[in-house]
Structure 1
């Protein structure tokens, strides 16, 4: 790539759109167990908002939004959230991802399923967002990229 400076119009547009894409991504994650969508779709929307800034502005400004060295630990954390919820259900005497076995005092079976699925969706969304960002960061590493 050639050495270039970011266009102020493109930068303004991406910085304006990125938070709205993030809010919609979180909406898709949190509403995913009631309607189409969920962790994967919301994670891709969150990654799209991060990648929009990365493509338009370069690494210096993009690292202010999301540090590239945090992608791998956050991806691992998302996997741990997913499998930790499933293993906790097994430890409590149920099957893997049997949310009714999660013993949280004061919650009925329907509420346990609600919170269990939401936790799973958050783990998946975090993993998808960070892995897609990590793929992009690895592809442009070494390029002459502002």
Structure 2
């Protein structure tokens, strides 16, 4: 895949960090404001997609990106399942909020929501990696070519 013009490269170089930080913010504050893991993951994947579109990538390099994205996606899924199983490990219920049993949820307080921010992070990692892997797969495939 070919890169684009110098103007597109410079604009994407300026915009990508802002999009990434916005995605991280949406993931981190998903339990306080609208958003969360899915919306933040989409923004983060969009950041990486913008950079690949602007700068281009060879087929071999794209295959490496796809493999790494699939590995990170699996890590996000396993992290989410591990968080869900923490309650069973402690001898309580599946997906129980183990971190804030005595003080469950103070509106507006960042650290009062227990496992919800951890779940948002796991979902954000999984969604970002999955969408980026889907984009890379479409970018690699051309008419008649196989992975």
Q: Normalised by the shorter chain, which TM-score bucket?
A: 0.7 to 0.9
CA deviation vs aligned residue, 1:112-133 (integer Å, no higher than 9, x gap): 8624111111100000000000
Under a length normalisation based on structure 1, what TM-score does the superposition of the two structures give? 0.81
CA deviation vs aligned residue, 1:3-34 (integer Å, no higher than 9, x gap): 75520000000111000000000000000001
Aligned partners of 2:127 and 2:2: how far apart in 1? 30
Give the aligned CA root-mean-square deviation in angstroms.
2.7
Matches within 5 A, 1:1-146: 4-59=2-57, 67-100=65-98, 108-110=102-104, 114-143=113-142
Under a length normalisation based on structure 2, what TM-score does the superposition of the two structures give? 0.80
SS in 2 for 1:99: coil
Aligned partners of 1:98 and 1:4: how far apart in 2? 49
CA deviation vs aligned residue, 1:39-93 (integer Å, no higher than 9, x gap): 0000000001111111122115xx6xx9332101100100011110111112212
Q: Structure 2 vs 1, CA of residues 23 and 5 (structure 1 numbering), >3 Å: closer, same or farther? A: closer
Q: Greater helix percent: which structure?
A: 1
List alignment gaps of at least 5 residues for structure 2: 106-110
List alignment gaps of at least 5 residues for structure 1: none
Aligned partners of 1:108 and 1:47: how far apart in 2? 37
Aligned partners of 1:52 and 1:10: how far apart in 2? 10
Runs of 4+ aligned structure 1 residues displaced above 4 Å come to none
